[in-house]
Amino acid sequence: MNKTIQQLYERKSTRAFLKEPIAQKEKEIIFEAAMQAPSAGNMSLYSIVEISDPVLKEKLAILCDDQPFIVQAPLVLVFLADYQKWHTLFASHDLPCAGFGEGDLFLAMADCLIAAQNTVVAAESLGIGSCYIGDIIEHYEEVKELLHLPKYALPAAMLVYGKPAPSALARSKPPRFSIQDMVFTNSYPERSDKQIEEMFMRRQDLAKGELDSYVKRIHSFKYDTDFRQEMNRSIQVMIDSWSRHDDV
């Protein structure tokens, strides 16, 4: 197995960091890995904001569902889906640019997350662990104010990076589905309730009587939650603002 594949297989989220800072050279490699990512029409519809101010880090950690390990991370980056630079450029050339639609936002989100994942892979190759913080898409109004975001630059992801502490290295990687449960040929398969249940039991290595409590736990901690409601509210505000044609 080559080194790239091995690192992809071995990567797991890092939530406990050594105090060691990330060297400037390492940061540049990570940023350049983002620049080299593919993007739709090579429009690079994203920007990255490094959060170096400890007070700002603290505020974001609280806004992101109060996850204190964010504050301990030597490097924190917010990835923005960003059409702002094109909007400004079009406008300065007197080109029509009457607001953007949801399709534009989806493309910008795709650009942004692909660039983000390039940084994850690059960091991993340098022995630097990382963890996505999905909660950055909550509380849009506050995040917008804290980071001075213009209308067409929306938070898509936050990532924290650092050399893994021993506890992070010791943590086992959560299980994955097998390829046959996730990869299909030519069309999406029809699967019975029983087949779906068996698929989850295989992944989680559950005995028959254990599935129900597993499903209820995930439903309670991941689905039936305040943070999901806040995320959906926040995203709706972002979409409404992005596609409101009040700037022309």
Ligand X SMILES: Cc1cc2nc3c(=O)[nH]c(=O)nc-3n(C[C@H](O)[C@H](O)[C@H](O)COP(=O)(O)O)c2cc1C
226 binds ligand X (CB under 6 A): no
Q: Applying CB under 6 A, which of residues 7, 39, 47, 67 lies at the interface with ligand X?
A: 67
* Bridge partner residues of 47 (DSSP): 80
Q: Which among 8, 35, 27 is positioned nearest to 111, based on CA atoms?
A: 35
Q: Applying CB under 6 A, which of residues 7, 13, 39, 72 lies at the interface with ligand X?
A: 13
The DSSP code sequence of 110-148 is: HHHHHHHHHHHHHHHHTT-EEEEEGGGGSSHHHHHHHHT
> Which span sits near ligand X by CB under 6 A: 37-45, 99-107, 133-141, 185-193?
133-141
15 binds ligand X (CB under 6 A): yes
- Tokens for 204, please give them: 């989680």
134 binds ligand X (CB under 6 A): yes
Phi, psi torsion values for 207, nearest 5 degrees: -80, 165
Q: Applying CB under 6 A, which of residues 97, 131, 146, 154 lies at the interface with ligand X?
A: 131
CA atoms within 13 A on the CB side of 129: 26
Least Cβ distance, residue 160 to ligand X (angstroms): 9
Residue with smallest beta-carbon separation from ligand X: 134
Q: Applying CB under 6 A, which of residues 37, 77, 116, 133 lies at the interface with ligand X?
A: 133
3-state secondary structure of 66: coil
> Which span sits near ligand X by CB under 6 A: 8-16, 20-28, 183-191, 240-248?
8-16
CA distance 4 to 154: 31
Binding site for ligand X (CB under 6 A): 12-13, 15, 67, 131-135, 173-174
